[in-house]
Structure 1
Amino acid sequence: MPLFDVIGLFVVILMLLALVSWGLTRWVARRVEGEVPAQGRYVDLPSVRLHVVEQGEGTPVILLHGLGGQLNHFTYALVERLEGFRVLAVDRPGMGYSAWRNEETADLAFQARCIAELIREERLERPLLVGHSLGGALALRIALDYPELVGGLVLLAPLIRVQPIPGAFRMIAIRSAWLRKAVASTFGIPLSILSARRTLRRIFAPQTPPRDFAHRGGALLGLRPASFSTLSLELSQLNDPMPAMFERYSELNMPIGVLVGEADNLLDPERHGISLAGIVSVTALKRLPGEGHMLPITRPEACAELVRHVAEAVTSHDRVSDRE
């Protein structure tokens, strides 16, 4: 067969595969949103439309999830343990059921501005920010850029500095906007479905992913083009702001609690989290032997205990500040 005929046949097959993948992707997205619907309400802000689940009364607490996640990571087990707090679990921009208004960006400064807008819109008085993984980096960025709006930080297996992207994820860290959207609309979701079990095992290791995590934990929501595109975008920009942020951590002057799993194989607990205590004054630093990365799911009571501890420290810190 002549070379041009071979190339032509290959192109036709590729186009057919792309068309089939596009149809499958749209069907999966509709099915997923039917099985894991939005739980909360929407808050329309100047920069973004945020999906928020709110529960309880008391000291305000904002829960910020990590890379590729959604607020279901907190509603799974942590929110119900935070009695006595006004808890707002938030889908970060582009994830879960939150959506950008204009430009899509994973820039932490932009996301910090969005949460600052939420704090002002909801009239939250210096809330605690609870950030897991990349959500920890976001919590730190909010505290750096808007310290007057933040009472304290609770960092759960946080990202705090430059982190090499694991080999398995490099192929989806796509900087080109058109290519990212093309992959998200065609091959991205079928490939994600094929690798889902392996990915979840790695994220939870050495623990085992709960059987109901796909629905109750919201994992199915990642099987949508918008979620895949945001994940790809965040991976491609993951390290961009970290060097400058790391240089600013000494500016932090508020109660900070850190919780890490000593067996976390995604973010080294010594490098991310524990080392923060050598830069700023940390109110509480707790290590969980044998625990991995997904602490809000696997150790929700330990997370809730740290939130309560830091909340008490904020009260004491404010009393001292008032006397001064």
Structure 2
Amino acid sequence: MFPFGTRRSAKRAVRRGAAQLTKLLTATAKPPRTAVRTKPKVGAPKTGSAVRARKTEASRKAPGRFVEIDQLRVHCIVRGRGRPVVLLHGNGTMAEDFVICGLIERLATRYRVIAIDRPGFGHTARPRARVWTAVEQAQLMHRVLAALKVERPLVVGHSWGTLVALALAAGGLRELRGLVLLSGYYYPSRRADVTMSKTLAMPGIGDAARAMMNPAMGRLVAAQAFRQVFRPQAVPPRFEAEFPVEIAMGPTQMRASTEDASTMNTAASGLQHTYPRLDLPVAILTGDADAVVDIDEQSRRLHGEIAGSTLKILPGLGHMIHYAALGPIDRAIDGLMAPGGRSQKAPRVASRVGAVLGRP
């Protein structure tokens, strides 16, 4: 969700982003007054801003419940009753995103809805002992769902969460009713945010950079990121009022965001060979004004590789379609949750918008 660049002009974005990062670090770093007497532990900066950020993260009450998996407490928001729908958020955000957009409230009138904070996001920790690839995260999601006694869920993924959803389906760990993929990233490509995040994801270097970001600068960076991921729509007032910026810009989630961004192409590369073999209903939704992912390189291509999948292209909408297109998302979920659902062998259905434009 928090890209450092867009799909356009990748090289220029890298140079511009690097310059901005340099300014950020020099503006927030305090000039040394005395020699450092003790050498800090690499990867564990103890600056006052980092300590305050962690205290702020811990002070916000979790809106859901925790499931413990191998001493890792995974935060889940569970609402409603009925057949299960699982929501997996994108990069830079958290399970509360689905509360703020209204999707959980809407679905909970007829389904049991489970929104899960992926490792390092929201109120779930991110132990350094593991490399949290999309496959590793999918395995954790499987164990969380097993602990919650969830059987045959429909999995809805947004942005980076679509990779976890696809890994869960490809791994065959549990039977799924189907997948609803929103604004997803499915194939590796040249991206400025991936290039920049590789440096910020490095232990020590990334920790030091995050520790030097003061709260005011964090809010500024977040506001810029919000405008980019929502455009061409405006940032919704409810999002501005309720989204936990202090958690999103805290050291734990910032580390998770940069690590996920840096491994995005690797995750997509490892999964792409599994797409033609998927044997479950898949609904793909995307906005045609998405400034974060290229819909032709991603959603259209995926639709062409998954037999029987459906593709709906939403005119004029950006990356955060779960705020502006609750109706179409609702209908896609209901379509797969209906008795019998959409058969994987059903003829491919293109969106009306795509048909009008003469595209698949």
TM-score (norm 2): 0.77
Q: 1:45 aligns with which of 59, 64, 69?
A: 69
After superposition, residues 218-237 of structure 1 pair within 5 angstroms as: 218-237=244-263
Alpha-carbon distance, 1:251 to partner:
1.4
Match of 1:213 in 2: 239
Match of 2:327 in 1: 301
Match of 1:253 in 2: 279
Match of 1:59 in 2: 83
Matched, 1:196 2:222: yes
Alpha-carbon distance, 1:169 to partner:
7.6
The separation in 2 between residues aligned to 1:200 and 1:168, in whole angstroms, is 18
Match of 1:81 in 2: 106
The separation in 1 between residues aligned to 2:241 and 2:35, in whole angstroms, is 33
Q: Is the 8 A contact 1:51 1:90 kept in 2?
A: yes
Local SS of the residue matching 1:177 = coil
Q: 1:151 aligns with which of 177, 186, 195?
A: 177
Q: Is the 8 A contact 2:125 2:252 kept in 1?
A: no
CA 1:167–1:105: 2 relative to 1, 3 Å: closer
Alpha-carbon distance, 1:227 to partner:
0.8
The separation in 2 between residues aligned to 1:102 and 1:10, in whole angstroms, is 30
- State the one-letter code of the partner of 1:308: D
Greater mean deviation of Cα atoms: 289-298 or 236-245: 236-245
Alpha-carbon distance, 1:191 to partner:
4.1
The separation in 1 between residues aligned to 2:189 and 2:261, in whole angstroms, is 10
Matched, 1:287 2:313: yes
Q: Is the 8 A contact 2:285 2:312 kept in 1?
A: yes
Q: What do the CA deviations read for 1:141-179 (whole angstroms, capped 9, x no partner)? A: 110012643221000111111143335982675242122
CA 1:11–1:165: 2 relative to 1, 3 Å: farther
Alpha-carbon distance, 1:30 to partner:
3.4
CA 1:96–1:23: 2 relative to 1, 3 Å: same
Q: 1:142 aligns with which of 161, 164, 168?
A: 168
Match of 2:47 in 1: 22
Alpha-carbon distance, 1:313 to partner:
6.7
The separation in 1 between residues aligned to 2:262 and 2:170, in whole angstroms, is 23
Q: Is the 8 A contact 1:52 1:89 kept in 2?
A: yes
CA 1:171–1:256: 2 relative to 1, 3 Å: closer
Give ranges in structure 1 of 5+ residues lacking alignment: 1-8
Alpha-carbon distance, 1:75 to partner:
0.9
Match of 2:301 in 1: 275
Q: Is the 8 A contact 1:25 1:189 kept in 2?
A: no
Local SS of the residue matching 2:67 = strand
- State the one-letter code of the partner of 1:30: K
The separation in 2 between residues aligned to 1:252 and 1:293, in whole angstroms, is 25
Q: RMSD across aligned C-alpha pairs, in angstroms? A: 2.9
The separation in 1 between residues aligned to 2:168 and 2:67, in whole angstroms, is 19
Greater mean deviation of Cα atoms: 186-195 or 299-308: 186-195
Q: How many residues end up aligned between the 2 structures?
A: 307
Local SS of the residue matching 1:80 = helix
Match of 2:157 in 1: 131
Instruction: Among all aligned residue pairs of Structure 1 and Structure 2, give the percentage whose two residues are the same amino acid.
Output: 26
After superposition, residues 147-186 of structure 1 pair within 5 angstroms as: 148-166=174-192, 170=196, 173-186=199-212
Local SS of the residue matching 2:91 = coil
Local SS of the residue matching 1:131 = strand
Match of 2:291 in 1: 265
CA 1:109–1:222: 2 relative to 1, 3 Å: same
Q: What do the CA deviations read for 1:93-148 (whole angstroms, capped 9, x no partner)? A: 11100113562433111101101111221221110110000001110011001264
The separation in 2 between residues aligned to 1:165 and 1:314, in whole angstroms, is 39
Match of 1:116 in 2: 142
Give ranges in structure 2 of 5+ residues lacking alignment: 1-29, 41-45, 347-360
The separation in 1 between residues aligned to 2:35 and 2:279, in whole angstroms, is 56
